[in-house]
Amino acid sequence: MSGDEFEVRGPHEESLEGGHEEGRQNPLAGRLALTTALLATVGALFGYMAGLTQADAILYKNSAAIRTTEASDQWNFYQAKSNKQNLAELGMALTGPSQQQTYAAAIERYGHEKSDIKREAERLTAESKHMDELSEQSMHVHHRWAQATTLLQIAIAMAAIALLTRKDWLQYLVYAFALGGAGLGALALAQI
């Protein structure tokens, strides 16, 4: 087999020599690979922040529920003291002068106790409302982080499509989605 031999070359050999179109360095592939790695890293951070703010929102909502229950207990206690005060007033009205002094002292004591209980109930109610507001704020920021993460994931998917189809114009979609995700991430960071 002297002069009639021929060599079958595979794509790998041609790419090593740079003689085949696919073997040449594709600048689009390098840019999109780097972009994808950066987007994945930033997306992971955004995902972490989304989970963190969601956990904060749940903790605030839980604290609000606890304060609401404590306030309800105080309002019930206030009502019980009011009932006792009303009974003392009724007792004072139905008894003679010898017993009225005892009932008058009870009426005054219940009045002081009620004011302290009412103050505590109002404090707990205000605290519950504040915790609810903090929960709402945290959920809003959580949604911003989640939206930013979603846009970065779409950008990563678009990068894969751009690499597979070798369409240069698709990289602009990648950058547009990445920019949108970065913008929403900045809003989340600023808690807007």
pLDDT digits (tens, 9 = 90+) for 104-133: 999 999 999 999 999 999 999 999 999 999
Flag whether 16 is in a domain.
no
Flag whether 63 is in a domain.
yes
Largest interatomic CA distance in the chain: 139
Flag whether 157 is in a domain.
yes
Backbone angles phi and psi of 49, in degrees to 5: -65, -35
pLDDT band of residue 166 (cuts 50, 70, 90) is confident
Flag whether 2 is in a domain.
no
The residues near 89 (Cβ < 8 Å, ≥ 6 apart) are: 103, 107
Burial tier of 191 (Cβ tally within 10 Å: 0-12, 13-18, 19+): exposed
What is the total count of domains within the chain?
A: 1
More confident residue, 6 or 92: 92
Task: Name the pTM for this structure.
Answer: 0.71
**Per-residue pLDDT at 19:** 46
Write out the residue range of the structural domain in which residue 169 sits. 28-189
Flag whether 8 is in a domain.
no
More confident residue, 32 or 20: 32
Q: In whole angstroms, how far apart are CA 174 and each of 84, 85, 167, 168, 169?
A: 72, 72, 12, 10, 9
**Per-residue pLDDT at 28:** 78
**Per-residue pLDDT at 168:** 85
Flag whether 156 is in a domain.
yes
Flag whether 1 is in a domain.
no
